[in-house]
Amino acid sequence: MSRKIEKPSIIKACGGIPKIIEEYIGGVNTNSKDISIAKMISPKGWNEPGQTPKFDEYTVVLKGYLEIETKNTTYKICAGQAFISSANEWVKYSSPEGSEYIAICIPAFTPDTVRRDE
């Protein structure tokens, strides 16, 4: 069914310094289980625990940059660049200088499927 999404839902974020998550499509705003699309606004110094999610995540950086750590490499993803993390692979996100980015998760992000480190 086609429909217009009037506005995102604000989701509580995990991490050392809270970031803003504006979910446009996903489990909270549209009850979608197949995909989630959210805009993230992360402040300078933000980081979150590592995770081994059960979903593929596609990240497009709009402003600033993200540091994305995998088991083998740490990447600096700048505005205008993108990153793909595959399901069941460990990854850790941070924004040393602050950033804005779009995150698309397939299937949709849920607190149960993100599988954050203890």
What is the pLDDT at residue 61? Answer: 98
| Residue 4 is assigned to a structural domain of this protein | no
| Residue 1 is assigned to a structural domain of this protein | no
* DSSP symbol at 113: H
Cβ atoms within 10 Å of 32's Cβ, excluding its own: 16
**0.85 exceeded by the pTM?**
yes
- The CB-side HSE value for 49 (13 A sphere, CA atoms) comes to 10
Enclosing domain of residue 16: 10-114
| Residue 19 is assigned to a structural domain of this protein | yes
Per-residue pLDDT reduced to its tens digit, 25-54: 999 999 999 999 999 999 999 999 999 999
Rounded-to-integer distance, Cα 115 and Cα 103, Å: 17
| Residue 60 is assigned to a structural domain of this protein | yes
Peptide bond into 107 cis (omega under 30): yes
Q: How many domains does the chain have?
A: 1
